[in-house]
Amino acid sequence: MKPLWVIVLGVLALAWVSYVPPGESTLTKAGLYGKVRTVENWRADDGFRRDTRRPRRNELYHDSSRSLVIFDEYGKVIEAIYLDADSMQAQRDDYKYDLDGRLDEIELDATNHADFPPKVEYRYNKDGQVRSIGYYFSGSNSSDPTIQYWYDYNDKGLISTMYVGNAGSKYQVIMEYKYDAAGHLIQADNEDGDNRLKERKAYTYDTAGHLLQEIRYKGDGTSISQREDYVYNSDGKKIEELDYYVDGKYIYEKEEEFPKHENKPVRIDSVRKVWEYYYNYKVVESTETEYPTGKVTSVRDSVVYVNDSIGNWIKQAHYFDNKDSTVTYRKISYY
Protein backbone atom coordinates (compact mmCIF):
# COMPACT_ATOMS: atom_id res chain seq x y z
CA MET A 1 0.00 0.00 0.00
CA LYS A 2 1.31 3.43 -0.91
CA PRO A 3 1.83 6.01 1.86
CA LEU A 4 -1.39 7.85 2.65
CA TRP A 5 0.18 11.18 1.81
CA VAL A 6 1.00 10.00 -1.72
CA ILE A 7 -2.43 8.49 -2.26
CA VAL A 8 -4.43 11.38 -0.84
CA LEU A 9 -2.47 14.10 -2.62
CA GLY A 10 -3.32 12.31 -5.84
CA VAL A 11 -7.00 12.16 -4.95
CA LEU A 12 -6.97 15.75 -3.67
CA ALA A 13 -7.06 17.00 -7.26
CA LEU A 14 -10.27 15.01 -7.77
CA ALA A 15 -11.78 16.58 -4.68
CA TRP A 16 -11.08 20.16 -5.76
CA VAL A 17 -12.17 19.54 -9.34
CA SER A 18 -15.41 18.06 -8.03
CA TYR A 19 -16.08 20.95 -5.65
CA VAL A 20 -18.32 23.69 -7.05
CA PRO A 21 -19.07 26.88 -5.07
CA PRO A 22 -22.68 27.23 -3.90
CA GLY A 23 -24.83 28.84 -6.58
CA GLU A 24 -22.60 27.63 -9.42
CA SER A 25 -23.56 24.51 -11.34
CA THR A 26 -21.13 21.80 -12.37
CA LEU A 27 -22.27 22.49 -15.94
CA THR A 28 -20.98 26.07 -15.72
CA LYS A 29 -17.62 24.89 -14.44
CA ALA A 30 -17.42 22.29 -17.22
CA GLY A 31 -18.29 24.84 -19.91
CA LEU A 32 -21.57 23.15 -20.87
CA TYR A 33 -24.68 25.03 -21.99
CA GLY A 34 -28.37 24.31 -21.53
CA LYS A 35 -30.13 21.86 -19.20
CA VAL A 36 -27.76 18.95 -19.74
CA ARG A 37 -28.84 15.58 -18.38
CA THR A 38 -26.04 13.23 -19.50
CA VAL A 39 -22.70 13.51 -21.30
CA GLU A 40 -21.27 10.37 -22.85
CA ASN A 41 -17.68 10.69 -24.01
CA TRP A 42 -15.56 8.35 -26.13
CA ARG A 43 -12.49 8.53 -28.35
CA ALA A 44 -12.43 7.26 -31.93
CA ASP A 45 -8.77 6.25 -31.65
CA ASP A 46 -9.18 3.78 -28.78
CA GLY A 47 -9.81 0.78 -31.03
CA PHE A 48 -13.49 0.40 -30.13
CA ARG A 49 -16.26 0.66 -32.72
CA ARG A 50 -19.21 2.72 -31.61
CA ASP A 51 -21.82 0.33 -33.00
CA THR A 52 -20.38 -2.79 -31.32
CA ARG A 53 -19.10 -1.34 -28.03
CA ARG A 54 -21.95 0.95 -27.08
CA PRO A 55 -21.85 1.33 -23.27
CA ARG A 56 -24.90 0.50 -21.23
CA ARG A 57 -26.53 2.97 -18.84
CA ASN A 58 -24.17 2.18 -15.97
CA GLU A 59 -20.87 1.92 -17.83
CA LEU A 60 -18.07 4.44 -18.33
CA TYR A 61 -14.34 4.80 -19.04
CA HIS A 62 -11.83 5.53 -16.26
CA ASP A 63 -8.99 6.24 -18.72
CA SER A 64 -11.18 8.95 -20.29
CA SER A 65 -11.51 7.06 -23.59
CA ARG A 66 -15.12 6.36 -22.57
CA SER A 67 -17.11 7.96 -19.80
CA LEU A 68 -20.62 8.89 -18.76
CA VAL A 69 -21.52 11.79 -16.48
CA ILE A 70 -25.08 12.36 -15.23
CA PHE A 71 -26.40 15.72 -13.99
CA ASP A 72 -29.49 16.63 -12.01
CA GLU A 73 -31.97 19.25 -13.15
CA TYR A 74 -30.00 21.96 -11.30
CA GLY A 75 -26.79 21.27 -13.20
CA LYS A 76 -25.04 19.34 -10.42
CA VAL A 77 -23.18 16.16 -11.30
CA ILE A 78 -24.74 13.22 -9.45
CA GLU A 79 -22.98 10.25 -11.01
CA ALA A 80 -19.89 9.50 -13.07
CA ILE A 81 -19.00 6.08 -14.45
CA TYR A 82 -15.78 5.00 -16.13
CA LEU A 83 -14.97 1.89 -18.15
CA ASP A 84 -11.68 0.06 -18.48
CA ALA A 85 -10.16 -1.19 -21.73
CA ASP A 86 -12.39 -4.28 -21.68
CA SER A 87 -15.55 -2.16 -21.46
CA MET A 88 -16.02 -3.21 -17.84
CA GLN A 89 -16.86 -0.72 -15.11
CA ALA A 90 -13.61 0.45 -13.51
CA GLN A 91 -14.92 3.24 -11.34
CA ARG A 92 -18.24 4.75 -10.35
CA ASP A 93 -18.55 7.99 -8.39
CA ASP A 94 -21.79 9.05 -6.70
CA TYR A 95 -22.17 12.67 -5.57
CA LYS A 96 -24.36 13.83 -2.67
CA TYR A 97 -25.27 17.40 -1.71
CA ASP A 98 -26.47 19.10 1.46
CA LEU A 99 -29.64 21.19 1.81
CA ASP A 100 -27.77 24.30 0.64
CA GLY A 101 -26.78 22.60 -2.61
CA ARG A 102 -23.14 22.18 -1.55
CA LEU A 103 -21.20 19.02 -2.30
CA ASP A 104 -21.44 16.88 0.82
CA GLU A 105 -19.66 13.65 -0.11
CA ILE A 106 -18.45 11.51 -2.98
CA GLU A 107 -18.74 7.74 -2.80
CA LEU A 108 -16.21 6.00 -5.03
CA ASP A 109 -16.60 2.42 -6.19
CA ALA A 110 -13.13 1.95 -7.70
CA THR A 111 -13.14 -1.72 -8.62
CA ASN A 112 -9.67 -1.62 -10.16
CA HIS A 113 -8.23 1.13 -7.98
CA ALA A 114 -7.80 -0.21 -4.46
CA ASP A 115 -5.73 2.83 -3.43
CA PHE A 116 -8.71 5.16 -3.87
CA PRO A 117 -10.72 6.04 -0.74
CA PRO A 118 -14.32 4.72 -0.85
CA LYS A 119 -15.63 8.05 0.46
CA VAL A 120 -14.61 11.72 0.33
CA GLU A 121 -16.38 14.08 2.76
CA TYR A 122 -16.70 17.89 2.59
CA ARG A 123 -17.31 20.21 5.54
CA TYR A 124 -17.86 23.99 5.41
CA ASN A 125 -17.29 27.01 7.63
CA LYS A 126 -19.91 29.65 8.47
CA ASP A 127 -19.01 31.57 5.29
CA GLY A 128 -19.74 28.58 3.08
CA GLN A 129 -16.08 27.92 2.29
CA VAL A 130 -14.60 24.43 2.33
CA ARG A 131 -13.33 23.95 5.89
CA SER A 132 -12.06 20.41 5.42
CA ILE A 133 -11.97 17.48 3.02
CA GLY A 134 -11.88 14.05 4.68
CA TYR A 135 -10.89 10.74 3.12
CA TYR A 136 -12.17 7.40 4.42
CA PHE A 137 -10.04 4.42 3.40
CA SER A 138 -11.00 0.77 3.44
CA GLY A 139 -10.10 -1.15 6.59
CA SER A 140 -10.64 1.74 8.98
CA ASN A 141 -13.15 1.12 11.77
CA SER A 142 -13.23 4.76 12.87
CA SER A 143 -16.19 7.03 12.23
CA ASP A 144 -13.68 9.84 11.56
CA PRO A 145 -11.79 10.30 8.29
CA THR A 146 -8.57 8.34 7.91
CA ILE A 147 -6.87 11.52 6.79
CA GLN A 148 -8.22 15.06 6.53
CA TYR A 149 -7.16 18.32 4.91
CA TRP A 150 -8.11 21.61 6.58
CA TYR A 151 -8.14 25.14 5.17
CA ASP A 152 -7.85 28.62 6.66
CA TYR A 153 -8.76 31.74 4.67
CA ASN A 154 -7.67 35.38 4.67
CA ASP A 155 -10.06 38.33 4.87
CA LYS A 156 -10.58 38.19 1.08
CA GLY A 157 -11.73 34.59 1.17
CA LEU A 158 -8.51 33.16 -0.30
CA ILE A 159 -6.84 30.07 1.15
CA SER A 160 -4.01 31.13 3.45
CA THR A 161 -3.04 27.85 5.15
CA MET A 162 -3.53 24.17 4.42
CA TYR A 163 -3.18 21.54 7.15
CA VAL A 164 -3.23 17.76 7.24
CA GLY A 165 -4.63 15.75 10.14
CA ASN A 166 -7.14 13.10 11.18
CA ALA A 167 -9.85 12.39 13.76
CA GLY A 168 -11.13 15.95 13.42
CA SER A 169 -7.79 17.61 14.31
CA LYS A 170 -5.54 19.77 12.12
CA TYR A 171 -2.03 19.33 13.36
CA GLN A 172 0.48 19.77 10.53
CA VAL A 173 0.87 22.77 8.25
CA ILE A 174 1.81 21.64 4.74
CA MET A 175 1.08 24.75 2.61
CA GLU A 176 1.01 28.49 3.26
CA TYR A 177 -0.06 31.10 0.70
CA LYS A 178 0.42 34.86 0.31
CA TYR A 179 -1.33 37.20 -2.12
CA ASP A 180 -0.96 40.74 -3.44
CA ALA A 181 -3.64 43.44 -3.13
CA ALA A 182 -5.30 42.22 -6.34
CA GLY A 183 -5.61 38.67 -5.02
CA HIS A 184 -2.84 37.17 -7.14
CA LEU A 185 -0.85 34.39 -5.50
CA ILE A 186 2.68 35.72 -4.90
CA GLN A 187 4.15 33.06 -2.60
CA ALA A 188 3.45 29.39 -1.86
CA ASP A 189 5.43 27.58 0.83
CA ASN A 190 5.45 23.80 0.86
CA GLU A 191 6.27 22.58 4.37
CA ASP A 192 7.05 19.11 5.73
CA GLY A 193 4.56 19.27 8.62
CA ASP A 194 7.18 20.19 11.24
CA ASN A 195 7.45 23.87 10.27
CA ARG A 196 10.39 23.09 7.98
CA LEU A 197 10.28 24.58 4.50
CA LYS A 198 10.59 22.06 1.66
CA GLU A 199 10.13 24.41 -1.30
CA ARG A 200 9.03 27.98 -1.90
CA LYS A 201 7.49 29.38 -5.08
CA ALA A 202 7.33 33.12 -5.74
CA TYR A 203 5.24 34.74 -8.49
CA THR A 204 5.22 38.19 -10.13
CA TYR A 205 2.58 39.63 -12.48
CA ASP A 206 2.11 42.51 -14.88
CA THR A 207 -0.60 45.13 -14.44
CA ALA A 208 -3.04 43.00 -16.46
CA GLY A 209 -2.58 40.07 -14.10
CA HIS A 210 -0.50 37.91 -16.43
CA LEU A 211 2.11 35.75 -14.72
CA LEU A 212 5.54 37.15 -15.65
CA GLN A 213 7.85 35.06 -13.53
CA GLU A 214 7.86 32.02 -11.27
CA ILE A 215 10.87 31.32 -9.07
CA ARG A 216 11.34 28.09 -7.15
CA TYR A 217 13.53 28.16 -4.05
CA LYS A 218 15.09 25.29 -2.17
CA GLY A 219 14.36 24.49 1.46
CA ASP A 220 16.47 27.38 2.74
CA GLY A 221 14.04 29.82 1.08
CA THR A 222 16.81 31.81 -0.66
CA SER A 223 18.68 29.46 -3.02
CA ILE A 224 17.01 29.36 -6.44
CA SER A 225 16.49 25.96 -8.07
CA GLN A 226 14.43 27.00 -11.09
CA ARG A 227 13.12 30.16 -12.76
CA GLU A 228 10.48 30.58 -15.44
CA ASP A 229 9.90 33.84 -17.35
CA TYR A 230 6.86 34.50 -19.56
CA VAL A 231 6.11 36.93 -22.41
CA TYR A 232 2.65 37.71 -23.82
CA ASN A 233 1.26 39.39 -26.93
CA SER A 234 -1.20 42.28 -26.95
CA ASP A 235 -4.12 39.82 -26.68
CA GLY A 236 -2.71 38.29 -23.52
CA LYS A 237 -1.66 35.03 -25.18
CA LYS A 238 1.62 33.52 -24.05
CA ILE A 239 4.19 33.73 -26.85
CA GLU A 240 7.43 32.89 -25.07
CA GLU A 241 8.65 31.02 -22.00
CA LEU A 242 12.22 30.73 -20.70
CA ASP A 243 12.96 27.99 -18.17
CA TYR A 244 16.25 28.07 -16.26
CA TYR A 245 17.50 25.12 -14.20
CA VAL A 246 20.20 26.26 -11.75
CA ASP A 247 21.44 22.76 -10.97
CA GLY A 248 20.57 21.41 -14.39
CA LYS A 249 17.77 19.15 -15.51
CA TYR A 250 18.81 15.68 -16.58
CA ILE A 251 16.91 13.85 -19.31
CA TYR A 252 17.55 10.82 -21.48
CA GLU A 253 17.79 11.50 -25.21
CA LYS A 254 17.03 8.98 -27.93
CA GLU A 255 20.17 7.22 -29.05
CA GLU A 256 19.50 7.77 -32.76
CA GLU A 257 19.29 11.52 -32.19
CA PHE A 258 22.29 11.86 -29.88
CA PRO A 259 24.42 8.72 -30.43
CA LYS A 260 27.39 10.19 -28.58
CA HIS A 261 25.34 10.32 -25.38
CA GLU A 262 24.09 6.74 -25.74
CA ASN A 263 21.97 6.03 -22.65
CA LYS A 264 23.61 8.58 -20.39
CA PRO A 265 21.45 11.42 -19.09
CA VAL A 266 21.94 14.78 -20.77
CA ARG A 267 22.10 17.95 -18.71
CA ILE A 268 19.76 20.74 -19.77
CA ASP A 269 20.49 24.19 -18.34
CA SER A 270 17.62 26.07 -19.97
CA VAL A 271 14.70 25.69 -22.36
CA ARG A 272 13.17 28.35 -24.62
CA LYS A 273 9.59 27.83 -25.75
CA VAL A 274 7.95 29.98 -28.44
CA TRP A 275 4.30 29.96 -29.56
CA GLU A 276 2.98 31.37 -32.84
CA TYR A 277 -0.74 31.65 -33.52
CA TYR A 278 -2.61 31.49 -36.84
CA TYR A 279 -6.20 31.72 -38.08
CA ASN A 280 -7.50 33.66 -35.10
CA TYR A 281 -5.68 31.39 -32.61
CA LYS A 282 -7.20 28.21 -34.02
CA VAL A 283 -3.75 26.91 -35.01
CA VAL A 284 -0.76 27.03 -32.68
CA GLU A 285 2.82 26.31 -33.65
CA SER A 286 5.18 25.73 -30.74
CA THR A 287 8.96 25.50 -30.88
CA GLU A 288 11.11 24.29 -27.99
CA THR A 289 14.88 24.71 -27.91
CA GLU A 290 17.07 23.04 -25.30
CA TYR A 291 20.42 24.44 -24.19
CA PRO A 292 23.28 23.59 -24.37
CA THR A 293 22.37 20.63 -26.62
CA GLY A 294 20.65 22.88 -29.16
CA LYS A 295 17.91 20.32 -29.75
CA VAL A 296 14.84 21.90 -31.40
CA THR A 297 11.33 20.41 -31.34
CA SER A 298 8.45 21.97 -33.28
CA VAL A 299 4.78 20.98 -33.23
CA ARG A 300 1.81 22.44 -35.11
CA ASP A 301 -1.34 21.97 -33.08
CA SER A 302 -4.98 22.68 -33.85
CA VAL A 303 -8.42 21.66 -32.60
CA VAL A 304 -11.61 21.67 -34.68
CA TYR A 305 -15.05 21.41 -33.05
CA VAL A 306 -18.50 20.40 -34.27
CA ASN A 307 -21.29 21.75 -32.02
CA ASP A 308 -24.89 20.72 -31.51
CA SER A 309 -27.81 23.15 -31.76
CA ILE A 310 -27.34 24.24 -28.12
CA GLY A 311 -23.69 25.18 -28.64
CA ASN A 312 -22.00 22.23 -26.90
CA TRP A 313 -19.34 20.42 -28.88
CA ILE A 314 -20.14 16.85 -29.92
CA LYS A 315 -16.98 16.20 -31.94
CA GLN A 316 -13.46 17.37 -31.17
CA ALA A 317 -10.73 16.67 -33.72
CA HIS A 318 -7.20 17.30 -32.44
CA TYR A 319 -4.47 17.61 -35.07
CA PHE A 320 -0.70 17.46 -34.59
CA ASP A 321 1.43 18.57 -37.54
CA ASN A 322 -1.70 18.48 -39.75
CA LYS A 323 -2.31 14.82 -38.95
CA ASP A 324 -5.54 13.56 -37.41
CA SER A 325 -4.24 12.51 -33.99
CA THR A 326 -7.24 12.26 -31.68
CA VAL A 327 -10.97 12.45 -32.36
CA THR A 328 -13.31 12.61 -29.37
CA TYR A 329 -17.10 12.33 -29.57
CA ARG A 330 -19.75 13.33 -27.06
CA LYS A 331 -23.39 12.35 -26.95
CA ILE A 332 -25.36 14.85 -24.87
CA SER A 333 -28.95 14.47 -23.68
CA TYR A 334 -31.03 17.30 -22.22
CA TYR A 335 -33.92 17.73 -19.80
Question: pLDDT tens across 222-279, in order?
Answer: 999 999 999 999 999 999 999 999 998 887 655 555 555 556 778 899 999 999 999 8
What beta strand segments (E) does the chain contain? 36-43, 66-71, 77-83, 89-97, 103-110, 119-124, 130-136, 147-153, 159-166, 169-179, 185-191, 197-205, 211-217, 224-232, 238-252, 265-278, 283-291, 296-307, 313-320, 323-334
Please tell me the total number of residues recorded for the chain in this structure. Answer: 335
The pLDDT mean for the chain works out to 81
Count Cβ atoms below 10 Å from residue 70 Cβ, excluding itself. 20
pLDDT per residue as tens digits for the range 38-63: 999 887 754 333 333 333 333 333 34
pLDDT score, position 319: 87
- Confidence at 146, pLDDT banded by 50, 70, 90: confident
User: In this predicted structure, which of 147-151, 176-180, 212-216, 288-292 has the lowest mean pLDDT?
Assistant: 147-151
Q: pLDDT tens digit string along 59-84?
A: 333 344 588 899 999 889 999 988 76
What is the pLDDT confidence band of residue 195, given thresholds at 50, 70 and 90?
Answer: confident
pTM comes to 0.78
pLDDT tens-digit series, residues 25-42: 677 777 899 999 999 988
Local structure of 126: helix, strand or coil: coil
